[in-house]
Amino acid sequence: MQAEALVERSNQSPKFPTSDSPASNLPSLQRQAPDGPRPRPALLMCAPKVYEVSYVINPWMEGNLGHSSRQRALRQWRNLYHALSSMAQICLVEPRAGLPDMVFTANAGLARDGLVALSSFAYRERQGEEPLFRRWFQEAGYTVIDTPRETPFEGEGDALFSADGMRLWAGYGFRTAPSSHAALERIWSVEVVGLHLVDPRFYHLDTCFAPLEDGSLLYVPAAFDQASLRKIEAFYPAEKRIAVSERDGLAFACNAVNLGRRIVLNRISAELEEELRRRGFEVTQIELDEFLKAGGAAKCLVLKLTPSLHCGSNADDPMQAELLEV
Ligand code: ARG
C-alpha cells in the first residue's frame, strides 16, 4: 500500500495555521525555521482521571486488577507533569470513561514533521482510544495516516527514532506487527530497523530501549533476541551502550523521558543514577509505581510531538488549571 493511500482525507482546517486562522485555545502546528533556534519541545499527556487496572493485556496487570489508587495515580502523574512542564510545552487530550489506558499517550501513534501514523491497537481493550486520538491530532493540524487493523502498530511505544533522526527502531513480538514497519519506512523515508522483543515483561520497545539525545542508549539486553542485539551493537559502540541491571529494567529505568541533558524517570538504583550523572545528565526521579501496575512509567505517559505546538497558555486552559490544583 502506498503511503498516500494511507493518508486519511479530512476536511479539517489547513494543516499549518495561517495568520488568518481563527484564534483559539486549540493546539496548532508551528513551522520550524530550518536554521532557527530549536523550538521548545511539546509533549502530549492525558490525565489519569479514569485510570484503573480493569483488564489484563500484559503481565504487569496480572494480580493488579482493581488494585490501583486513582488518587495516588493523579498525584504521581501531576508530579511528572510539573517536572516536564519546566522543559516542554504540555498538550492534554481529554480522557474518556471506559478507556483506562488512554493515559499512556505514547501509544497514540508516532508523530513527526506534521504527520502522525495513528496506532491500530493489538487488543480490543484499547481500540476505543483510536478515534479520540485521531480527533486530537486532526484538531492539532496533523495529517493523520491510518495504519491497517491487520498489521497492529502501537505508536511511539514500539517505534523510537535514533538521536540523529535517521533511523527508526521498531519493536515487534508482542504488540506491533513487523508487517507494519514498511508503511513507516514510506511515510518518513527513514530506515526502519526491527527489534524482536522476547520477554513478555518488556512487551513494548520503550519499556526496555531508550535512545538518548547524546547518541547513547539505555537498554535491557535480555529483552531482545540475539539477532536484534547484534543490530543494536553494530549501531551503538560499547561506550555508548548503557545496559541496565534486571532490577533497574523492572523498575522501568529505560522508560525514560530525555530532553536535552535532562532525564525524567521512575525511581532507579543509586548506581544507575550515578552512571547517568557521570555522562552529564541531570536525573529527575519520580515515583510512578501506580502506573507500573498497568505496565507503564514516565515515557509511556508522554508522546513527543514535532514540530512544537502551541497548546494555548496553561493558565488560561480550564482543564489544565483544574488539574494543576493541589
Ligand atoms: N496497560 C497498557 C498496555 O498494556 C500499558 C501501556 C504502556 N505503554 C507503553 N508505551 N509502554 O497497553
40-317: CATH topology: L-arginine/glycine Amidinotransferase; Chain A (3.75.10)
Q: Is residue 106 lining ligand 1, measured as CB closer than 6 Å?
A: yes
Q: Is 204 considered catalytic here?
A: yes
What string of pLDDT tens digits covers the 326 residues of the chain?
333 334 333 333 323 222 233 333 446 665 545 556 667 899 999 999 999 999 999 999 999 999 999 999 999 999 999 999 999 999 999 999 999 999 999 999 999 999 999 999 999 999 999 999 999 999 999 999 999 999 999 999 999 999 999 999 999 999 999 999 999 999 999 999 999 999 999 999 999 999 999 999 999 999 999 999 999 999 999 999 999 999 999 999 999 999 999 999 999 999 999 999 999 999 999 999 999 999 999 999 999 997 667 775 454 455 565 665 53
pTM of the model: 0.88
Q: How far apart are CA 121 and CA 200, in angstroms?
A: 17
Ligand 1 binding pocket includes 104 (Cβ within 6 Å): yes
Q: How far is the CA of 175 from the centre of ligand 1 (A)?
A: 10
Task: Determine the residue type at 8.
Answer: E
Atom of ligand 1 nearest to the CA of 107: 10
Q: What's the CA-to-centroid distance between 207 and ligand 1, angstroms?
A: 9
Q: How far is CA 122 from CA 148, 151, 199, 234, 293, in A?
A: 11, 8, 17, 30, 20
Secondary structure (DSSP) of 94-140: ---TT-GGGG-GGGSEEEETTEEEE-B-SSHHHHTHHHHHHHHHHHT
DSSP string, 236-288: S-GGGEEEPPHHHHHTTTTS-EEETTEEEES---HHHHHHHHHTT-EEEE---
Q: What's the CA-to-centroid distance between 13 and ligand 1, angstroms?
A: 32
Q: Is the CB of 256 under 6 A from ligand 1?
A: no
- Ligand 1 pocket member 140 (CB < 6 A): no
Query: How far apart, in Å, do the first and last CA atoms of the chain sit?
Result: 49
Rounded distance from Cα 297 to ligand 1 centre (Å): 9
Q: Which residue of the set 46, 204, 208, 254 is catalytic?
A: 204
Nearest-5° Cα angle at 55, 52 to 61: 75
Domain parsing of the chain, residue ranges:
40-317
Q: Does the C-beta of 207 come closer than 6 Å to ligand 1?
A: yes
- 300 given a catalytic annotation: yes
Instruction: State residue 71 phi and psi, 5-degree precision.
Output: -60, -45
